[in-house]
């Protein structure tokens, strides 16, 4: 299952018997996700231009999922006592699809603050306990992509001959005053100054794709602590090859 994705370097992890449930009750899901994910690309220019937000490539991925019927849905769980509504909770999920055997929910966490994983996993847990979903799926930056971001951004800076903030503006980037100060502090310091290109790369990656954002190791931290358990989970990490 997911062999095409594994061959491209995607990380795939199953929790709480999700692999068995997929293979028996939802055999078409892996095929659909492979069809969408295996052809997805995110050019480095889009990563730079996104400023750490959702890239155009991620938006294309969302549209491709929607074309396969994975649509946004707001689950409303209501408690009724003696025929009277007492309380209700809503759980909005970005991509949901109903199948003959049940419903599957999917979230893409490209680059949010890492507590969004807690929100997603807790939503999946509640919805599974209430019979709303059979499986929860999370797609995020894989370990190889997270580890490669610095080199990818540095390669982009080399190719664009970035040596100043004027060069940044030349390619359409508008750094904030704080970002300019942080970079120039390292470039102009008396001891061990570093080239502008290196200082900007370090600042951009740490500022936009730091350890406190949504990526594979942060997701694994949660599931290993039992967040979302016992909802069956499929975890997918986007590789550097994307």
Q: What is the pLDDT of residues 106-119, one digit of tens each?
A: 999 999 999 999 99
The radius of gyration of the chain's CA atoms, rounded to the nearest angstrom, is 21
Task: Name the pTM for this structure.
Answer: 0.93
CATH class of the 3-145+209-238 domain in this structure: alpha beta
DSSP strand pairing (71-81 vs 233-238): unpaired
Other CB atoms within 10 A of residue 31 CB: 13
pLDDT tens figures, 2-38: 999 999 999 999 999 999 999 999 999 999 999 999 9
User: Which residues are CB-neighbours of 104 under 8 A, at least 6 positions away?
Assistant: 26, 29, 96, 97, 133, 134, 135, 136, 137
pLDDT in tens, 117-136: 999 999 999 999 999 999 99
Pairing of strands 233-238, 11-15: antiparallel
């Amino acid at each position: 299952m997911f062999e095409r994705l594994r061959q491209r370097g995607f990380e795939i992890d199953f929790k709480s018997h999700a692999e068995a449930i997929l293979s028996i009750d939802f055999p078409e899901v892996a095929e659909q996700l492979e069809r969408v994910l295996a052809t997805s690309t995110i050019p480095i220019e889009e990563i730079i231009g996104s400023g750490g937000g959702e890239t155009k490539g991620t938006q294309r991925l969302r549209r491709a999922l929607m074309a396969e019927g994975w649509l946004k849905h707001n689950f409303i769980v209501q408690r009724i006592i003696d025929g009277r509504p007492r309380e209700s909770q809503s759980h909005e999920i970005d991509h949901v699809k109903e199948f003959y055997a049940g419903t599957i929910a999917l979230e893409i966490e490209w680059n949010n603050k890492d507590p969004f994983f807690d929100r997603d996993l807790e939503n999946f847990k509640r919805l599974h306990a209430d019979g709303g979903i059979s499986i929860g799926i999370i797609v995020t930056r894989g370990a190889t992509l997270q580890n490669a971001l610095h080199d990818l951004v540095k390669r982009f800076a080399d190719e664009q001959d970035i040596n100043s903030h004027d060069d940044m503006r030349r390619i359409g980037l508008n750094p904030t005053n704080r970002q300019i100060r942080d970079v120039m502090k390292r470039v102009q310091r008396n001891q061990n100054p570093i080239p502008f290109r290196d200082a900007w790369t370090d600042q951009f990656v740490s500022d936009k794709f730091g350890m406190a954002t949504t990526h594979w190791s942060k997701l694994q931290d949660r599931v290993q602590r039992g967040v979302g358990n016992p909802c069956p989970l499929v975890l997918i990490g986007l590789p550097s090859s994307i």
